[in-house]
Chains A and B, each alone.
Chain A
Amino acid sequence: MNDNSQNVSGDVRIGVYVCHCGSNIASMVDVEEVARWAGEALPGVVASRDNNFMCSSLGQEMIEKDIKELGLNRVVVAACSPHLHEATFRNACQRAGLNPFLFDMVSIREQVSWVNTDRAVATEKAKALISGGVHRVAYNQPLEPIIVDINPNVMVVGGGIAGIQAALEIADGGSHVYLVEREPSIGGHMAQLDKTFPTLDCSACILTPKMFTAGNHRNITLLTWSEVEKVDGFIGNFTVKIRKKARKVDTDLCTGCGLCEEKCPKKVVDEVFEAGLGYRKAIYRPFPQAVPKFPVIDTENCTFFQKGTCKACQKFCPTGAINFDQQDEILTVNVGNIILATGYDLFDSRRISQYGYGRLANVFSSLEFERLSNAAGPTGGKVVLRDGVTTPQSVAIIHCVGSRDTNYNKYCSSICCMQSLKFAHVVKERTGAQVYDFYIDIRTPAKAYDEFYQHVLEENVLFVRGKVAEVTDAARLPGEEGKLIVQVEDTLAGKQRRIPVDMVILSAGLEPRADSKEVAKKFGISCSYEGWFIERHPKLDPVATMTDGIFIAGACQGPKDIPAAVAQGAAAAARVMGLVGQGQISLEPVRAYVNEAQCSGCRICNNMCPFNAITFHEDRAVSEINPALCQGCGTCVSACPAGAIRASHFSDQQVMAQIEGILMIDLKQRELVNG
């Protein structure tokens, strides 16, 4: 590599290359005149040429030849958009031994020839832009990409179906995975479900084999009843602090026999797994097929921890695995990439007080109904009213509860229509009750979804198009006594209706987890206004985030069904394995950096960075930018009141010079015109 790139201060020797692009540029811009003029009028230009197609190998070789023979230390190409060929010409420079960042590209096609009709005007505009580029490139600095190693270990946060899928694929691919789950068992919401649409597979039947494999995989370290406390570092090099909460059970000794659970005298309403519909014990496993099989003690409800007595579990445990003194453990783990698959929370239907959830006994939320209809649930799968005994004769299923609603959540929760149809089918099948579905639209987009809807239609489920105004027990008309009345405007019939039913099921919407904003901040990613994790690009990059090395999968990115969650889990795993396979990653060096000598520690910049790249050092009273986290937007550069933050590319000097270069030409023109 020859030495041209070192000659950056002092003598700039600029080569200017003006492309004809066939007739695309040449038909509207006098390219030969522009090239000639650039060589004469612009400072520092030692070579100025035009060429039919600069991006061709001939065009590129021309640049490389000039760099070597004329000792060029800056290159400007005036052609198409930098989005097309900036990389092409940067590579050409690099091949000739010139640092690729000593190159600037000026667009005179999309910006000039294709948008003008007057050749003289277009040529002048091209000159102004090229002048800007030439003045600017003199201040470009050579930059080296930042190379970081990728630690092959991976962390998956969230043990629902998306997280499990991602973990299995990565583990099968040979990398080690830390699967962190805050509940005592993996499985997520899918473990609560009875049947899954449209195939009506038993949810547990398809989920538990995957859970079991994940729990026993030699490449997966399962950390349940654990939460991430702190994340430091950057792609390839994350250091994660995890709090492994005390189960109060020694997992080396526990055999999972379940005797402790059986003998525990304390019953607690299970708000999580049973959705408040059933009970568990103070020492418990969330469900029989829990992975891992070890129970945990809920110390807030345990008689021993609250009053100091009982200890039944310890008395009866055959292996002496109960350890009341067990403490939380803090683990520090190093990983190269992290996948967040933290799932969703159900919309709290109590917020819509007119639907009576929480007040009227026989109004059920969707998750409650899943538990009701689940054979392993509190009623053994019998669809009965809140009294646990009575079979309903009529059931109303309300779609869009808390979704598509300007008062609550504007978005569609994606799965509720299919879920509602599934409920309708289950109720029909198990009770023969009259079923009403109250809907706004029926959304059945995926494979076999609409066929399922057609099938349910044939089952004599009645569909009423209208947003339910109210669910009430205040009877007004005959036949309403003792019933729940659904008041709705039937928009297709064009009239108000009051429909008395025994049971109401609310298809509540999906919401981001209550703590999603804190979690996002912890991992250095962003949330949308509602709280969904933000993907790098909504169409073309749904599993990556703006933070390199942190990926998202499943419902935490937005409401979706199980196939989509699995697909995203697999997609995130593939992205991670791609990085692990490369072993190293090269980060673009367009960055900001703090000149510490000039930093006064005023901290104006501290809340300018959505990527948490800026940290403040109390001891030295200065702010610092982590180059691996910095994305190069430059917002902090323009915020700094002391000018202490510099941009490695798009610097103040470069932009100011570009402004001068552009206007220098125009002013001259104006002087000529005005005489």
Chain B
Amino acid sequence: MSGNGHGKPKFAMYWAAGCGGCEIAVLNIHEGILDLDANFEVVFWPVAMDAKYKDVEAMEDGEITLCLFNGSIRNDENAEMAHLLRRKSKVLVAFGSCACEGCIPGLANLYSKRSLVETAFSTLTTDNPGGVLPQTTYAAPEGELHIPTLYETVRTLDQVVKVDYYMPGCPPESPQIMSVLGLVIQALKGEAQLPPAGSVIGAGNSTVCDECPRPRNEKTLTVFRRMATFQPNVQECLLEQGILCSGLATRSGCKALCPSANMPCIGCYGPAPEVVDQGARMMSAIASVIGSNDPKEIDKIMDGIVDPAGTFYRFGLPHSLLHHARTDG
């Protein structure tokens, strides 16, 4: 990342409210990173190089050809950078589940901002006898200090700016990243065409179920089991064994990595194509095949779903129809 790529298209990657896994996934393309360096000039990538916000502000609008924006929008700094990079980028990609659907940070939408802050600053292990809570402005002797304000809810990138492409996954699998970079490089050379704006790239058009090697039968669910207390049979469908596998409601593209490792899919590649609310689809599918017609019995079977909000909306709460839970305060 020498910065010496005069004339090469410019590349940026930014990390908003996320865990950093997406950045690692990009590095995980191994020697593919050399293709990146060969074809792009990396102008802004906080995790990998030393560039400042003012460097981005100084650029022309649309000067950055490709920007991979990962992480969700938790505070106004994230939003400001989203707007900035939108202006300065030709192609803005919501990279990874946080930017696309909200992902794990999105689960904060189950609580009010106030309860989150209060909890964080008053746990058993927090030494805060004065009960001090962070303020967004502080009058220091040297001048007024500002820190970013948390928004009431976590938002996705497209709830703040217009997004050109979505790359789902937590993280997007490295081979998919490589193939997308390859496509972009080819498109820049005029050898390939990018799909229409607004498309999901680096993923399949079906669901994880399609990629899963396990056999599929008609389903009737009479019990739900948890991984903590049950060792699933590797030859049978996980859902048929009562494990809540989200594979059937999750976009394909990861080659069913988790079910292949005898773990249920947790839904990180987001909803299937054209689905609005992944959690609702999952809910409807699971409920439809519960093996009872009696409400009391149904409820008893569903007692095995101990955390419906977490199970169905683990990755997509901010992008779901309701966006958040109702909280008082």
Of listed A602, A603, A635, A639, residue having the most chain B CB within 10 A = A602
**Complex-state Cα separation, A132 to B219, whole angstroms:** 36
Within the complex, the shortest CB–CB distance from B249 to chain A, in Å, comes to 4
Could you tell me if B220 and A607 are in contact, using CB atoms closer than 8 angstroms? yes
Could you tell me if A602 and B248 are in contact, using CB atoms closer than 8 angstroms? yes
- Report B269-295 residues with CB < 8 Å from chain A CB: 271-276, 281-282, 284-285, 288-289
Q: Does B218 contact A (CB under 8 A)?
A: yes
Q: Does B205 contact A (CB under 8 A)?
A: yes
- Report B233-258 residues with CB < 8 Å from chain A CB: 247-249, 252
Within the complex, the shortest CB–CB distance from B322 to chain A, in Å, comes to 14
Within the complex, the shortest CB–CB distance from B50 to chain A, in Å, comes to 44
Q: Does A202 contact B (CB under 8 A)?
A: no
Could you tell me if B219 and A603 are in contact, using CB atoms closer than 8 angstroms? yes
Q: Mark A635-658, 1 if CB is under 8 A from B, else 0.
A: 100111111100000001000100
Cβ 8 A contact of A639, one of B205, B206, B217, B284:
B284
Q: Does B56 contact A (CB under 8 A)?
A: no
In this complex, what residue of B is CB-closest to A637? B284
Q: CB-CB < 8 A to B281: which residues of A?
A: 640-643
Within the complex, the shortest CB–CB distance from B123 to chain A, in Å, comes to 38
Cβ 8 A contact of A601, one of B210, B220, B272, B285:
B210
Report the count of interface residues on A (CB-CB < 8 A).
Answer: 23
Could you tell me if A599 and B206 are in contact, using CB atoms closer than 8 angstroms? yes
Q: Does B207 contact A (CB under 8 A)?
A: yes
Could you tell me if A598 and B205 are in contact, using CB atoms closer than 8 angstroms? yes
Q: CB-CB < 8 A to B42: which residues of A?
A: none
Cβ 8 A contact of B285, one of A598, A607, A639, A652:
A639
**Complex-state Cα separation, A45 to B274, whole angstroms:** 27
Q: Does A604 contact B (CB under 8 A)?
A: yes
Could you tell me if A600 and B207 are in contact, using CB atoms closer than 8 angstroms? yes
Q: Does B216 contact A (CB under 8 A)?
A: yes
Q: CB-CB < 8 A to B274: which residues of A?
A: 598, 643
User: Beyond A598-B205, A600-B210, is A641–B219 a contact (Cβ under 8 Å)?
Assistant: no
User: Beyond A597-B206, A600-B248, is A641–B272 a contact (Cβ under 8 Å)?
Assistant: yes
Could you tell me if B248 and A607 are in contact, using CB atoms closer than 8 angstroms? no
Cβ 8 A contact of B248, one of A616, A635, A642, A652:
A642
Q: Does B209 contact A (CB under 8 A)?
A: yes
Number of cross-chain contacts by CB at 8 Å: 80
Could you tell me if B206 and A598 are in contact, using CB atoms closer than 8 angstroms? yes
Could you tell me if B288 and A602 are in contact, using CB atoms closer than 8 angstroms? no
User: Beyond A598-B272, A607-B289, is A641–B217 a contact (Cβ under 8 Å)?
Assistant: no
Q: CB-CB < 8 A to B252: which residues of A?
A: 600
In this complex, what residue of B is CB-closest to A601? B216
User: Beyond A602-B207, A604-B219, is A642–B275 a contact (Cβ under 8 Å)?
Assistant: yes
User: Beyond A598-B205, A598-B206, A604-B248, is A642–B272 a contact (Cβ under 8 Å)?
Assistant: yes
Q: CB-CB < 8 A to A597: which residues of B?
A: 205-206
User: Beyond A597-B206, A598-B205, is A603–B216 a contact (Cβ under 8 Å)?
Assistant: yes
Cβ 8 A contact of B218, one of A607, A639, A641, A656:
A607
Q: Does A621 contact B (CB under 8 A)?
A: yes
**Complex-state Cα separation, A656 to B271, whole angstroms:** 18
Could you tell me if B282 and A641 are in contact, using CB atoms closer than 8 angstroms? yes
In this complex, what residue of B is CB-closest to A646? B274
Q: CB-CB < 8 A to B208: which residues of A?
A: 600
Q: Mark A329-372, 1 if CB is under 8 A from B, else 0.
A: 00000000000000000000000000000000000000000000
Residues of A within 8 A of B (CB): 597-604, 606-608, 616, 621, 635, 638-644, 652, 656
Give me 22 A-to-B residue pairs in the complex whose CB atoms sit less than 8 angstroms apart, sorted by A's number. A597-B205, A597-B206, A598-B272, A598-B273, A599-B206, A600-B208, A602-B207, A602-B209, A602-B247, A602-B248, A603-B217, A603-B219, A604-B289, A607-B218, A608-B288, A616-B218, A639-B285, A641-B284, A642-B207, A642-B249, A642-B272, A642-B273
* Given A598-B206, A600-B208, A641-B285, 8 new contacts (CB under 8 A): A597-B206, A598-B272, A599-B206, A600-B207, A602-B285, A604-B285, A638-B288, A639-B285
